[in-house]
């Protein structure tokens, strides 16, 4: 390789760093050290960040920043809503403004109501929220903030502008997606070997949590 060509090759990463397009929204560094600017998020597994925002890792598709990962892993937030529920809209807006990633489950059928009671709620009152194992019924800003503070969620949003909450789903439909007992990879492997799937030991009975206190702001289903 000629000296002039070698100099151009060595200067290429520097040129890429300097050539940040005005329309670029994301920046990331490839394993070979090359810096990329793009209007698309970095590919999964590549560290990057939205320009003008705090760095986020794209190890998964949620795009949750590192400051939120411990809280979301230990104390996931589930919002339970129903139709024609103004307090539900207020609760959803509050979680979004605070920057809390949450899963929303709607309760509008008898099947949904059955699953709602199995989740530990004594009566069909909405909105309801679970933060880890803690539950609250009826939207009251101070009570919900205390739960979120105790779980370690930041008081102000640190989510990147590109973050999108998971779309709401009916509670019974979401629960039906869970694999049934005796199915899955282990059962398929046993069937291929001509053996019966090995039964799992029965789970120990779990103590029932006391019903959350009734909140005057709750909407009855």
CA 64 – CA 160 distance, rounded (Å)? 8
Domain assignment present for residue 198? The answer is no
On whether both 165 and 70 belong to a single domain, the answer is yes
- Please give the residue range of the domain that contains residue 31: 20-60
Each of the 221 residues of the chain gets a pLDDT tens digit; together they read: 555 554 444 444 444 444 444 455 667 676 666 778 776 777 766 666 565 443 333 334 457 899 899 999 999 999 999 999 999 999 999 999 999 999 999 999 999 999 999 999 988 999 999 999 999 999 999 999 999 999 999 999 999 999 999 899 999 998 776 654 444 444 444 444 444 444 444 444 444 445 555 565 666 66
On whether both 51 and 122 belong to a single domain, the answer is no
Q: Tokens 């439909």 label which residue?
A: 173
On whether both 96 and 165 belong to a single domain, the answer is yes
Domain assignment present for residue 91? The answer is yes
Do residues 80 and 127 touch, judged by C-beta distance below 8 A?
Answer: yes
On whether both 73 and 121 belong to a single domain, the answer is yes
Q: Is 100 helix (H, G, I), strand (E, B) or coil?
A: coil
On whether both 88 and 129 belong to a single domain, the answer is yes
With the C-alpha atoms ordered 181, 171, 103, 134, is the resulting torsion angle positive or negative? negative
On whether both 117 and 41 belong to a single domain, the answer is no
Taking the complete model, does pTM exceed 0.85, yes or no? no
On whether both 30 and 94 belong to a single domain, the answer is no
| Domain CATH code at residue 151 | 3.40.30.10
CA 17 – CA 108 distance, rounded (Å)? 52
Domain assignment present for residue 202? The answer is no
On whether both 158 and 85 belong to a single domain, the answer is yes
On whether both 80 and 150 belong to a single domain, the answer is yes
Domain assignment present for residue 189? The answer is no
The count of domains in the chain is 2
């Amino acid at each position: 390789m000629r000296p002039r060509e070698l100099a151009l090759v060595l200067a290429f990463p520097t040129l890429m760093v300097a050539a940040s397009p005005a329309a670029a929204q994301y920046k990331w560094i490839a394993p070979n050290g090359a810096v990329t600017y793009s209007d698309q998020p970095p590919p999964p597994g590549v560290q990057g960040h939205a320009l003008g925002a705090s760095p986020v890792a794209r190890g998964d598709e949620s795009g949750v920043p590192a400051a939120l990962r411990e809280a979301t892993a230990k104390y996931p937030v589930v919002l339970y809503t129903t139709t024609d529920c103004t307090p539900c809209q207020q609760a959803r807006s509050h979680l979004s403004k605070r920057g809390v990633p949450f899963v929303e489950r709607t309760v509008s059928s008898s099947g949904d109501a059955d699953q709602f009671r199995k989740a530990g709620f004594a009566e069909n009152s909405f909105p309801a929220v679970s933060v880890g194992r803690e539950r609250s019924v009826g939207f009251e800003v101070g009570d919900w903030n205390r739960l979120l503070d105790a779980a370690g969620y930041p008081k102000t949003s640190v989510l990147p502008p590109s973050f999108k909450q998971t779309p709401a789903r009916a509670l019974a439909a979401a629960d039906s997606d869970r694999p049934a007992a005796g199915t899955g990879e282990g059962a398929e492997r046993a069937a291929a070997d001509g053996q019966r799937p090995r039964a799992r030991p029965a789970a120990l009975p779990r103590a029932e949590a006391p019903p959350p206190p009734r909140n005057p702001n709750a909407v009855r289903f």
